[in-house]
Amino acid sequence: MSLLYRYFDSPVGKLTLVASDLGIVALLWENDNPARVPLGPLAPGDHPTLDLAERQLAEYFTGERTAFSVPLDMRGTFFQKEVWKALLNIPAGETRTYGQIANGLGRPNHSRAVGAANARNPVSIIVPCHRVIGHSGKLTGFAGGLEAKARLLNLERASFVADEKVAWSDKKQAVSATYARR
């Protein structure tokens, strides 16, 4: 079966959702580098997995969802898949450094390899590579751009704080404090 795709207009730009019969293969950015996630032939089409991904992304962007349950068909090396699986364990509203991910994988000297695998994550947002930051706390590389990364983190922080039933002024202050150090 060829891979099917659909466009999704989001607050961080036009995204391309790509699915196989097994699950979501890619979520690509409008100006994504085609070499970052090689896919082969794509065809526009409808698929229940694309419907589910679109619905869950819409819920995510409205703050109704902080984790995804759409099936994934991740394609990469063993190490890349290990890193991507670790990304799925970072809760919304939180961040981890490349070094923390490497340590969690039992490979403390592999921070750069974690960064390279993170950069090749084919399913941005759903597999939350945007939650990984540099060791200094600064936002670092992201296929969708640093502005999109900051917007996603702010969205998640606001949703997380809202879930904790914090007053709007506190929520606004928490989001500002968390990302003011950029």
Tell me if the pTM is above 0.75.
yes
The alpha carbon of residue 126 and the mean position of all alpha carbons in its chain are separated, in whole angstroms, by 5
* Residue 34 confidence (pLDDT): 77
For 112, left (φ over 0), alpha (ψ -120 to 50), or beta? Answer: alpha
Name the packing angle between helices 78-87 and 111-119 (round to 10°). 80
* Residue 1 confidence (pLDDT): 58
* Residue 167 confidence (pLDDT): 36
* Residue 54 confidence (pLDDT): 95
* Residue 175 confidence (pLDDT): 38
Set out the domains of the chain in order of their start, with CATH numbers: 3-61 (3.30.160), 78-179 (1.10.10.10)
Closest CA to 144 of 165, 159, 123: 123
Three-state secondary structure of the chain: CCEEEEEEEECCEEEEEEECCCCEEEEECCCCCCCCCCCCCEEECCCHHHHHHHHHHHHHHCCCCCCCCCCECCCCCHHHHHHHHHHCCCCCCCCEEHHHHHHHCCCCCCHHHHHHHHHCCCECCCCCHHHEECCCCCCCCCCCCHHHHHHHHHHHHHHHHHHCCCCHHHHHHHHHHHHCCC
User: pLDDT by residue for the chain (182 residues), tens digit each?
Assistant: 589 999 999 999 999 999 999 999 999 998 888 788 888 889 999 999 999 999 999 999 998 888 899 999 999 999 999 999 999 998 888 888 889 999 999 998 898 999 899 889 999 999 988 888 888 878 878 877 788 888 888 888 765 444 433 333 343 344 333 333 32
Catalytic residues: 129
